[in-house]
Amino acid sequence: GPPLDQFEGYASEVGIDQDQFRQCIRSDKYQDVVSASRLLGDQLCVNATPTLILNGKRVRGEIGLDIGALRQVINAELGVGA
């Protein structure tokens, strides 16, 4: 079905108040924030989540959740040894 219906189904499965959730997810209250974030993501060529940008540079996707590799990238940006 439509994505909003799917999210409402997930919410129901975990016990979230259906009426409150439906009002929230169908509201445009945060549309400006979401649109601005989407535009920024487009400008930065973000095409997947999660995407990590460090000091204006995209961190290679293959680093993933490898904390040691991420630490090396951060240390390199800071100019310190591993």
| pLDDT number for residue 39 | 94
Q: Which residues contact 70 (CB under 8 A, 6 or more apart)?
A: 52, 59, 63
**For range 10-32, the mean pLDDT:** 93
Over residues 61-73, mean pLDDT: 81
- Kindly tell me if the per-residue pLDDT of 82 is higher than 70: no
- For residue 24, give both structure tokens: 């929230």
pLDDT band at 73 (very low <50, low <70, confident <90, very high): confident
Examine the pLDDT at 44 and tell me if it is beyond 90: no
User: Can you tell me the distance from the alpha carbon of 82 to that of 80, in angstroms, rounded to the nearest whole number?
Assistant: 7
